[in-house]
Structure 1
Amino acid sequence: MPGNRREILEMTDDQLVRQLREVQKEEKCLIVLDDIWSLDAWNNISKAIPAGDTPSKVILTTRKEDVAKRADPKVHRPNDLSPDDSWKLFVKKAYGGTDFNRNETMDELGRQMVAQCGGLPLAVVLLGGLLATKHTLREWQVVQRNLNSYLKSGNYTGGGQEERVLDVLALSYQDLPYELKPCFLYLGFYDEDVEIEVETLYQMWIAEGLISQDEKGEEETMMDVAECYLDELAQRCIVQVKVTWGAWDSWLLTRYLPSSPKKTCRLHDLMRELCLLKVKEENFLKVIDQRRRNKQLSVHPSSSFSTTTKSIGDDNYYNVRRLAIYAGDEIYGQNIPLLEHEERAQDLRTLILFARQQKDQFAGQLKHFCKVSPYLRTMLLHDIDDIPKEIGNLILLRYLGIRKSGYFKLPSSIANLRNLQTLDLRAGHLILPDVLWKMKGLINLHLPDQCSTVNKRPLRLDGLSKLETLENVDSQVVDLKSFCNLTNLQTLERLITRANEEELATVRNCITSNNRLRRTSISVGKYRTDSPMEGSIILMSQLLQCDFLVRLELRYIAGNFPKYEAHLGKSLTTLSLVNATLDEYPMATLGQLPNLRTLDLRRVRVPEGKEFVCSTHSFPSLEQLFLGEFDFNEWRVDEGAMLNLTNLGLCECINLKMLPDGLKDISTLKELSAWFMSSEFKKRLKVVDGEGGEDLHKIPFVKKLHLY
């Protein structure tokens, strides 16, 4: 059903259930439901699964036997790892493929500890991650004594597998350096299975004072130190970190450059259980969750180990320092005493609010809270329709995030926040007052994707001498001349400028004169016009000479594409060319860019008869290729080209009748998406009555084929 995404989003629950049942009756589907926690959850999901004889199959995983038996009396219990397999997994994690200082005594200790993990993969991985940070026999002996002590004390043991794993988890937590423990506990704010945006996490850690200034090197930033903290948690297998790129369908809808790679982290379910246990033991943070329709306060009620539920007026919530509120979908008319009670509100240092459907309910409380909680350091607001002018009272605030919100005007009183380090306004459409230049302490500034200014006056940014990160700079909103005074700027993400000579000269001077810049992405060009930029090819050549240029989009360029030279585009990872009129296809030059990972070409026009060729050894690092509205009739991919390509997208290349033969040699190609292609092209790829199309043999390694 991917082609009906918008229609699906507008369906009611009942309509969606009916649609899912029909699809499963008509098509052969494999449905995988991972980690079902309760009978209620299964009962709700099972309504969308038709009973009786259907071609579809369902795989369900759960740690609850009653859930498994409700779904199907035939329960499959996975076997534990054998001793040999446990040892192989441990060696991979603990030694990392090396044999540094490895000796028979250490191996014997390792085997004894692995045996105590009972063949449970997570316990083995965590033990290996812990010992990967220990490099001497003495350190391994200390870990073994501590492990024996934890297993004998049985803090969490109850005879089950989960409890035994929790004992090993607890040892991993106890072994953490003191500075990493609060960073780990901070993850207790987030829901189960949520992908946590690490950039925001770093900024909140810093605002909370969890990142040590003493560990910052001369050329490092606090964000660099925060990244080292997360890397160590990942090395110990306590968190899982991944990098994802923008989805192909969002590229079709976006107006600007495809999104940059997004780094996220998450906790394994059982590691999150340990996090919540430690959070509760240390009274580190509290979560008010109204989504369960019980008007109760609990510390993440989805947790199988968090069994106690307290009233939101409970006196135990005095001295709360960190608070997250998840509002429900329905309006209960119930206020949060922690926001209204002056004595309690004064204790708060961190507030995270997900307002959802209760936006109006929190408006008055938020206004009052800003008056009575002057010591707040960190505030993150989701789905808020207005920000009160009283926010200017929070003069000690260091982090302010406004995300996924509506259309409203930001009050000018925000200028009072002189200690603010991070202002994250990646919200809806905001009207911004020209006061940001007064906030001298700003280090990270994320402007909205869509914004306007009071009286249409451009924003000044001069005076922000500490600014290191700046995102979403539109030349129609920000005064680019003041932008040149940001001498400490290190990351400039999504600078959007129009094609006039004065603007382009200013941009070029700013980015070439700043010797602290590490990463820059720029979108240059006209919109809704047919005329090419003057001197566009010269401009492109000059921009490609910038060592720190990582992402570049150019619109309406024209002329003879520059030939490749060794100094061009050394750092470029993402390139987008839109509405280009060129003398020939640019593949000969682009194919030699050493670090190009994402290439987006849309409406590139060349004289008739020019070949579109990806030659041998070209595009050595390319992972994603998107071709939109091309006139070519034939595309040739030579052997040895694009050997790291993983994703290919084609859109409205209506004259292309077939895929190139050379794709069959690209073993990394896992996903192919095609929109609005010719009927002949689609026919050669479709499977009809179990028989594959003529071109399917050209993409033998593709796992996901989408024809829209």
Structure 2
Amino acid sequence: MAETVVSFVSDHLATLLREEGSLLGGLREEVQFIKDELGHMRAFLKVAEPKEDDDPRLQEWIKQVAYDIEDVLDEFVLRFAGYRHHGFCGSLQRILKAIKSLPARHQVASEIQSIKSRIKNISEGRQRYQVEFGIDDCVTGSSTMNDSWRYSRDDALLVEEAKLVGIDQPKQHLISMLLEGHDHQLKVISVVGMAGLGKTTLVKKVHEDPDVRKNFPVRAWVTVSQTCDFPKLLRDLIRKLHKDLDKSAPQSIESMTTAELKEIVKDFLQQAGRYAIVFDDVWDVEFWNEIKFALPEGNYGNRVMLTTRNADVAPASCTESQDFVYKMEPLSIKDSWTLFCNKIFKGNRCPDHLMDVAKAVLDKCDGLPLAILAIGGLLASKDVSRIDEWEMIQHSLGGKLERVKRILSLSYNDLPSHLKPCLLYLSIYPEDYLIDCQGLIPLWIAENFVEWREGMSIEDVAWGYLGELIRRSLIQVTRVFYEGSPVTCQIHDLLREVILIKSREQNMVTITTGQPMTWPSEKVRRLVVHSSSNSSNIQHHQQRQFYSFEHLRSFITVRSTNPLLSKIFLSEVLRSSKLLKVLELVGQEIEETPNEIFNLLHLTYLSLFGTKVARVPRTIGKLQHLEYLNLGNTGVRELPVEILKLQKLRHLTVFQRVDPSDEDFGIHGFKGPSKLGGLLALQRLNTIDASSGSVIVIEIGKLTQLRELFITQLRREDGKELCSSLANLTSLRELSVESIGKGDDREIIDLNHHLPSLSSSSSSSSSCSFLQSLRMLFIRGRLEKMPKWVAHLHGLVRIDLNWSGLRAEEDPLEFLQHLPNLGEISFCGSYQGERLCFKVGGFLKLKRLWLRKMEGLRWMTVEEGACPNLRKLVLEQLPLLEDLPSGIQHLSHLQELGLYAMSSRMLEKVENQEEESEDYRRMTHIPEIVIGSYTDDGGWRIRRLWGKQKKTSLA
């Protein structure tokens, strides 16, 4: 496994030789020698890695040397980099600096010579190992990647949907158990089975089934996991129950005791009506003994479902005669084969020459879906003409649970070297943690796990890595965005166990929860703090004995808030971690930025998201290597001019959330220096306050690398300058523009200006690249006219128009209907006209449509052939719209119709239909209709009409 470390350090050396070569002086030749030797090590380890379990000595030896090399190189850069001066005075400073640093240079030279000597010993040892194991050192030191890793949003990322087999019968069986019987007592159904059988997948399908949703209007899903914090779980349950009924959970739950939280749950469920709650991944009997007192029996026929791998939990929870234990069985041979072929051959038949070895491999999976998908993901990357590669994998498989772990280890070992650290890095997240993909990508980049590729941004390369791990079934997508790209993901518990072991073996990550722990004997390189039920322990424990963090590269908090991180502990970590590159303190109770941060000259990634920091000191300019700065949801409203010194800065996020209870919910941006355009490397700018005038808008046009741009407080007179600036942003993918003011009183956004490189011909291919690259457009403010260039946004997939107030003659549908990729529209106060008509042949890709607060709208028409793929339609606060859209029966793929605060006449028509009526026949194809009305406390009262019977289910 040392190949990962060697690969990382080798790439780091290449960067050093390229960017800091002038500083190396006489050491350049020595460093080049080390780099070349690391290439040979990397090639050798690539072949030797499968034998690591037999003799890990060489791996351990090289791993330690590789880490030592990284330390010496980072120390070298820390001492000598960043002193480039110009002119006569600059020359004098260079001479003086060189004289002063001679002892330090001598020390680095001595350390490099020592490493060179150790590497020579390793080279001799490598030759002995080649003879002993018969390993042929014939692999080149450079890794290659074919196009298969590239991320494609056309891939079926929700693999469960495409690859579920053998689930229909058990699903229907469990549904019948939930629905049958007329008893009024609480019924508990436990689904039990070993890890990897698909218990969670099955129960999730049952929980989301329309018949179940119809019969149980109050539902919640709670993941328990092995490291269960019971009070936290109860708070999570309370929030989910309130959210299901579109209510806000009381703030007081944060300070309640366990007993008080149980009472809150019990009282809520008693008043809410019939409920069905899932507790996923229950590990011990004690959990059920605790939670059952919070679940009222009631007289409604309530249901609870558990999933567990512990055979003792199921009978303990299902003690009454009406309760039920469902034993999850492995897939049948037929279903296993179907899943196997779906994964590897995309549903096609297995080639004849691979049939025997394929069946032998499948036989060792024992019908476990997790094992089949994992081994299938591995085999799918192999050449189908190379039966020897398949046979090698077959012979490597070992029984049951340990075999699954072996399969997962094989899947890891088979990964290209650039993907291994990315997967191991997921060990920083707790069990069952929902990983934010957009947050993960910059962490991978900051850790130097992602290779630069010619003609591609490094972010696109990283998304490609994620896509490859998904295709190999090593990462499970839990939520996708409008166009299929992953939003959140998870790793299976068993895979997490595997990568935790491998991560510890590589000394990649050290995790603490604040409980007393034995720190690794090796140098801690990445320290991750997780939350703990006893959050004071880290204070007391660490104050007794601090550990050396001089080799620390990353310090990350996950689900961790004060007082888990005492100021003393944080200060000690920052003070002694001179080589720190990644610092993430999300949600910490920090009121000001610790001064120690500005001495971290290697720092590449800094996130203080959700802290109470309100000011950025001028010393921010010392962080010359900073590429990612996240001050989102803080009190920061202005950045000092020293921010312009950060020439490597690519992601800048600074905003403050407005009170969410405000109907016109938005954010405050930050005021930047007048020469913001000097940050030429910026790719994400979120959110710049443009109220200071046209100067800042003009500066935006100099940021030609921008991919995401969020502007707030735009003045009307700056619209022309903004259009001129946008024409220069040829890589822009996401644009959000917000004007000064609130609601209907917002100032006009004047964007109806000619873009300099836009041809007057709508069919011309010479339109500016900004128009071709933009995928998301959000405009919050009044528009006198719809910008003509919007009709040229052929790559657009989503548009939001809020408070645009377009007049009837400026029908926004005319501009949007022929955009070939538009999948989502949200209008709020966007149109003053009386009629909206979706014309035949228009909006061919549209899947989701929200229409809100357009007080003049009286009629809505959908012609046959319009919006053929619409899945969700939401109408909210349209007081004059008294009938369902004319032609709604043409929306054959519509899955959900939402009607919120609509006219009483419309609701009466929808709710009181006779089955023989024309209106009933127009909507009978819609599986779910959701009706919402305001409650006295400002929340929503939800009613659902289900299926063809459209019987009301009161929530």
Q: Is the 8 A contact 2:437 2:488 kept in 1?
A: yes
Of 135, 155, 160, the residue aligned with 2:383 is 135
Q: Tell me how far 1:220 sits from its aligned partner.
A: 1.0
**Do the aligned partners of residues 331 and 146 (structure 1) sit closer, same or farther apart at CA in structure 2, a change above 3 Å counting?**
closer
Q: Secondary structure at the match of 1:319?
A: coil
1:195 corresponds in structure 2 to 434
Q: Is the 8 A contact 2:477 2:486 kept in 1?
A: no
Of 582, 586, 600, the residue aligned with 2:826 is 600
Q: Is the 8 A contact 1:405 1:428 kept in 2?
A: yes
Aligned-partner Cα distance in 2 for 1:176–1:372: 35
Aligned-partner Cα distance in 1 for 2:740–2:606: 33
Where in structure 1 are there 5+ consecutive unaligned residues?
152-156, 247-258, 291-295, 297-310
Written as runs of structure 1 = structure 2, the 5 A alignment for 1:238-257 is 238-241=474-477, 244-245=480-481
Aligned-partner Cα distance in 1 for 2:519–2:861: 72
1:508 corresponds in structure 2 to 723
Q: Secondary structure at the match of 1:479?
A: helix
Q: Is the 8 A contact 1:626 1:649 kept in 2?
A: yes
**Do the aligned partners of residues 39 and 590 (structure 1) sit closer, same or farther apart at CA in structure 2, a change above 3 Å counting?**
same
**Do the aligned partners of residues 359 and 119 (structure 1) sit closer, same or farther apart at CA in structure 2, a change above 3 Å counting?**
same
Cα deviation per residue 1:566-603 (whole Å; 9 max; x = unaligned)? Answer: x6221222222233131343323322222222211122
2:893 corresponds in structure 1 to 668
**Do the aligned partners of residues 426 and 687 (structure 1) sit closer, same or farther apart at CA in structure 2, a change above 3 Å counting?**
farther
Q: Tell me how far 1:324 sits from its aligned partner.
A: 0.7
Cα deviation per residue 1:216-259 (whole Å; 9 max; x = unaligned)? Answer: 12x1122222222222211111112355459xxxxxxxxxxxx9
1:519 corresponds in structure 2 to 733
Q: Tell me how far 1:521 sits from its aligned partner.
A: 0.9
2:838 counterpart of 1:614:
yes
- Aligned residue pair count: 655
Aligned-partner Cα distance in 2 for 1:40–1:493: 51
Q: Is the 8 A contact 1:354 1:383 kept in 2?
A: no
Aligned-partner Cα distance in 1 for 2:801–2:669: 30
Aligned-partner Cα distance in 2 for 1:673–1:328: 41
Q: Tell me how far 1:87 sits from its aligned partner.
A: 0.8
Q: Is the 8 A contact 1:444 1:468 kept in 2?
A: yes
1:299 corresponds in structure 2 to none
Of 330, 333, 336, the residue aligned with 1:86 is 336
The percentage of counterpart residues that share the same residue type is 26
1:104 corresponds in structure 2 to 352
Superposition TM-score, scaled by structure 1 size: 0.83
Q: Tell me how far 1:674 sits from its aligned partner.
A: 3.3
Of 27, 40, 46, the residue aligned with 2:292 is 46
2:467 counterpart of 1:225:
no
Aligned-partner Cα distance in 1 for 2:490–2:708: 27
Written as runs of structure 1 = structure 2, the 5 A alignment for 1:480-491 is 480-487=697-704, 489-491=705-707
Give the counterpart letter for 1:463 in structure 2.
Answer: G
**Do the aligned partners of residues 369 and 687 (structure 1) sit closer, same or farther apart at CA in structure 2, a change above 3 Å counting?**
farther
Which one has more relative contact order, counting CA pairs under 8 Å at least 6 apart?
2
**Do the aligned partners of residues 499 and 128 (structure 1) sit closer, same or farther apart at CA in structure 2, a change above 3 Å counting?**
same
Aligned-partner Cα distance in 1 for 2:494–2:598: 41
**Do the aligned partners of residues 260 and 464 (structure 1) sit closer, same or farther apart at CA in structure 2, a change above 3 Å counting?**
farther
Cα deviation per residue 1:441-473 (whole Å; 9 max; x = unaligned)? Answer: 21222223459899x774642332222333323
2:614 counterpart of 1:375:
no
Structural RMSD (CA): 3.6
Q: Secondary structure at the match of 2:608?
A: strand
Q: Tell me how far 1:670 sits from its aligned partner.
A: 2.8
Aligned-partner Cα distance in 2 for 1:613–1:270: 52
Give the counterpart letter for 1:93 in structure 2.
Answer: K
Give the counterpart letter for 1:467 in structure 2.
Answer: L
Q: Secondary structure at the match of 1:32?
A: strand
Q: Secondary structure at the match of 1:230?
A: helix
Q: Is the 8 A contact 1:492 1:520 kept in 2?
A: yes
Q: Secondary structure at the match of 1:553?
A: strand
Aligned-partner Cα distance in 2 for 1:693–1:77: 47
Aligned-partner Cα distance in 2 for 1:531–1:315: 57
Q: Is the 8 A contact 1:367 1:391 kept in 2?
A: no
Aligned-partner Cα distance in 2 for 1:703–1:474: 42
1:178 corresponds in structure 2 to 417
Q: Secondary structure at the match of 1:344?
A: coil
Q: Is the 8 A contact 2:727 2:757 kept in 1?
A: no
1:700 corresponds in structure 2 to 925
2:121 corresponds in structure 1 to none
Written as runs of structure 1 = structure 2, the 5 A alignment for 1:23-62 is 24-25=269-270, 27-51=273-297, 54-62=300-308
Cα deviation per residue 1:655-702 (whole Å; 9 max; x = unaligned)? Answer: 2234225334434333333332233434444599x9999759616343
2:293 counterpart of 1:21:
no
Q: Secondary structure at the match of 1:94?
A: helix
Q: Is the 8 A contact 1:458 1:476 kept in 2?
A: no
Aligned-partner Cα distance in 2 for 1:81–1:443: 48
**Do the aligned partners of residues 480 and 58 (structure 1) sit closer, same or farther apart at CA in structure 2, a change above 3 Å counting?**
same
Give the counterpart letter for 2:310 in structure 1.
Answer: K
1:436 corresponds in structure 2 to 643
Q: Secondary structure at the match of 1:440?
A: coil
Give the counterpart letter for 1:648 in structure 2.
Answer: L
Aligned-partner Cα distance in 1 for 2:576–2:290: 43
Q: Secondary structure at the match of 1:604?
A: coil
1:496 corresponds in structure 2 to 712
2:817 counterpart of 1:591:
yes
Of 434, 442, 462, the residue aligned with 2:677 is 462
Q: Is the 8 A contact 2:714 2:749 kept in 1?
A: no
Q: Tell me how far 1:346 sits from its aligned partner.
A: 0.6
Of 322, 338, 343, the residue aligned with 2:526 is 322
**Do the aligned partners of residues 397 and 556 (structure 1) sit closer, same or farther apart at CA in structure 2, a change above 3 Å counting?**
closer
Aligned-partner Cα distance in 1 for 2:560–2:858: 49
**Do the aligned partners of residues 558 and 189 (structure 1) sit closer, same or farther apart at CA in structure 2, a change above 3 Å counting?**
closer
The answer to which structure has the higher helix fraction is 2
Where in structure 2 are there 5+ consecutive unaligned residues?
1-241, 658-666, 933-939, 941-955
2:710 counterpart of 1:474:
no
1:234 corresponds in structure 2 to 470
Q: Tell me how far 1:172 sits from its aligned partner.
A: 1.1
Aligned-partner Cα distance in 1 for 2:463–2:848: 26
Q: Is the 8 A contact 2:727 2:755 kept in 1?
A: no
Q: Tell me how far 1:411 sits from its aligned partner.
A: 2.7
1:548 corresponds in structure 2 to 773
Aligned-partner Cα distance in 1 for 2:329–2:389: 31
Aligned-partner Cα distance in 1 for 2:813–2:575: 60
Q: Secondary structure at the match of 2:710?
A: strand
Aligned-partner Cα distance in 1 for 2:602–2:544: 20
2:162 corresponds in structure 1 to none
Q: Secondary structure at the match of 1:436?
A: helix
**Do the aligned partners of residues 167 and 352 (structure 1) sit closer, same or farther apart at CA in structure 2, a change above 3 Å counting?**
same
2:497 counterpart of 1:273:
yes
**Do the aligned partners of residues 336 and 206 (structure 1) sit closer, same or farther apart at CA in structure 2, a change above 3 Å counting?**
farther
Q: Secondary structure at the match of 2:880?
A: coil
Superposition TM-score, scaled by structure 2 size: 0.63
Q: Secondary structure at the match of 2:632?
A: coil
1:209 corresponds in structure 2 to 448
**Do the aligned partners of residues 15 and 693 (structure 1) sit closer, same or farther apart at CA in structure 2, a change above 3 Å counting?**
farther
**Do the aligned partners of residues 411 and 179 (structure 1) sit closer, same or farther apart at CA in structure 2, a change above 3 Å counting?**
same
Aligned-partner Cα distance in 1 for 2:435–2:839: 40
2:370 counterpart of 1:122:
yes
Aligned-partner Cα distance in 2 for 1:423–1:342: 29
Larger Rg: 1 or 2? 2
Q: Tell me how far 1:103 sits from its aligned partner.
A: 2.7
Aligned-partner Cα distance in 2 for 1:453–1:108: 63
Aligned-partner Cα distance in 1 for 2:477–2:773: 25
Aligned-partner Cα distance in 2 for 1:527–1:605: 18
Give the counterpart letter for 1:280 in structure 2.
Answer: R
2:611 counterpart of 1:405:
yes
